[in-house]
């Protein structure tokens, strides 16, 4: 499946949900692992704001990419952010969406234009 790089330089991204382990199997509680490195995966919630539009997204990040100093509601940077379209059939119903993944999540600063107008 195609991986699409997400350009974030003009966006403001705010952390809305603290990092949590990504669960692979809800019945067993098995934590998802990276297919290549075997490293545990985490998810974060964020609001992506660009050109007056906003979207809530869930982003998967390797455990080593979670940095110190993350604060809910504060701006973050998501280096290497990519989007991957997916679809599946579950119980006879077709589902689809976009999965987001980043190399890390790090604290960031509000854009200068946003600070000036506040």
* Predicted confidence (pLDDT) per residue in 65-101, tens digit: 999 999 999 999 999 999 999 998 888 899 999 999 9
How long a stretch of residues is the chain? 118
- pLDDT for 117 beyond 60: no
91: left (phi over 0), alpha (psi -120 to 50) or beta: left
Q: Strand 4-5 relative to strand 30-31: parallel, antiparallel, unpaired? A: unpaired
* Predicted confidence (pLDDT) per residue in 34-52, tens digit: 988 999 999 999 999 999 9
- Contact yes or no for 82/104 (Cβ under 8 A): no
- Please give the model's pTM, rounded to 2 decimal places: 0.85
> How far is residue 49's CA from residue 107's CA, in Å, rounded to a whole number?
16
Structure letter (DSSP) for residue 114: H
Token duo for residue 43: 């998810």
């Amino acid at each position: 499946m195609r991986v699409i790089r997400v350009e974030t330089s003009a966006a403001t991204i705010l952390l809305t949900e603290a990092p949590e382990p990504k669960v692979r199997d809800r019945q067993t509680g098995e934590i998802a692992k990276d297919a290549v490195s075997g490293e545990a995966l985490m998810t974060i919630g964020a609001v992506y704001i660009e050109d007056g539009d906003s979207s809530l997204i869930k982003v998967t990040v390797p455990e080593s990419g979670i940095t110190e100093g993350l604060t809910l509601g504060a701006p973050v940077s998501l280096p290497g952010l990519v989007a991957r379209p997916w679809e599946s059939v579950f119980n006879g119903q077709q589902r689809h969406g976009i999965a987001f993944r980043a190399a890390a999540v790090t604290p960031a600063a509000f854009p200068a234009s946003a600070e000036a107008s506040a």
